[in-house]
Amino acid sequence: MKALIVDDEELARAVVREHLAAHSDVVVVAECANGFEAVKAAAQCKPDLVFLDIQMPKLDGFEVLELLEADGHRPAVVFVTAYDQHALRAFEAHAVDYLLKPFSRERFDAALAKARVLKDARPPAAQLGETARQGRPLERLVVKDGAKVTVVPLARLDWVQAQDDYVLLRTEGRNLLKQQTLASLESQLDPDRFIRIHRSFILNLDRLTRVEQDAKEHREAVLRDGTRLPVSRAGYQRLRELWEGA
């Protein structure tokens, strides 16, 4: 079994490496100090098992997991962290186990034993990242394009357009494609900040200046930069309800 160790603390990586040394059937294929390194190493090494810290610079553990799924490679994951508040979210993401630092060798061995049993019985990758975020509005999006990873804070997201099984993200004058449906992304966004104005568009309300209507009652949202997006009747009703409730 090929294992990848991801933690921004060298000592923490050394502890995991030491515990794994007692198991001849496990080979450590790479060690990473941040999320970007982890995504690159996973693409190259295709590990069966990842020991993954959660709170790290650049990308957190859940964002790393999402990017691994986007590549179609979903190894078994054991989260290793000093913070217990992420435990529920970790198991919602179908993690094999959740090791709270400091942990004993016995506790580590128990997690590894679970990984051996469960590594071939995980749910489809497409549903994992979404269940990990249920009920929690996103604060940023991660987009992978080949070896390049872009982090998009939601404050910089202007609008989103559906494109089949992808969404086009408009941010700071750029278009980025992310493999996700519009409905799925909508469920993860803060409804007080992002509104579905059309079956194909979600709008950041901070970018809206006005809604215009022509003689045929076709409506368009006019944004600060002059961009015009279509507004459906249902979308206009959502906007009206928001304005009236403000």
CATH number at residue 241: 2.40.50.1020
> What's the rounded Cα separation, in Å, for the pair 34 and 243?
42
**Last residue of one domain, picked from the residues 91, 113, 132:** 132
Count: domains in the chain: 2
Residues 17 and 58 in one domain: yes
**Last residue of one domain, picked from the residues 132, 156, 178:** 132
**Tokens 């970790």 sit at which residue?**
90
Residues 94 and 47 in one domain: yes
**Last residue of one domain, picked from the residues 64, 97, 132:** 132
Residues 215 and 128 in one domain: no
In this predicted model, what pLDDT tens digit does every residue of 108-136 receive, in sequence order? 999 999 998 876 555 444 444 444 444 56
Residues 79 and 165 in one domain: no
- How many angstroms from the chain centroid is the CA of residue 4? 19
Residues 36 and 112 in one domain: yes
Residue 127 is classified by DSSP as: G
CATH number at residue 114: 3.40.50.2300
Residues 26 and 113 in one domain: yes
Phi and psi of 243, rounded to 5°? -65, -40
Residues 66 and 47 in one domain: yes
In this predicted model, what pLDDT tens digit does every residue of 148-163 receive, in sequence order? 888 899 999 999 999 9
Residues 82 and 174 in one domain: no
> What's the rounded Cα separation, in Å, for the pair 102 and 95?
19
> What's the rounded Cα separation, in Å, for the pair 129 and 64?
10
Per-residue pLDDT of the chain (246 residues; tens, 9 = 90+): 999 999 999 999 999 999 999 999 999 999 999 999 999 999 899 999 999 999 898 888 988 988 887 766 788 999 998 877 777 777 777 788 999 999 999 999 999 999 988 765 554 444 444 444 445 668 889 998 777 888 899 999 999 999 988 999 999 999 999 988 999 899 889 999 999 999 999 999 999 999 999 878 899 999 999 999 999 999 999 998 888 765
Q: Residue 199 sits in which domain range?
A: 140-245
Distances (CA, A) of 146 to 41, 46, 127, 130, 150: 13, 15, 22, 22, 11
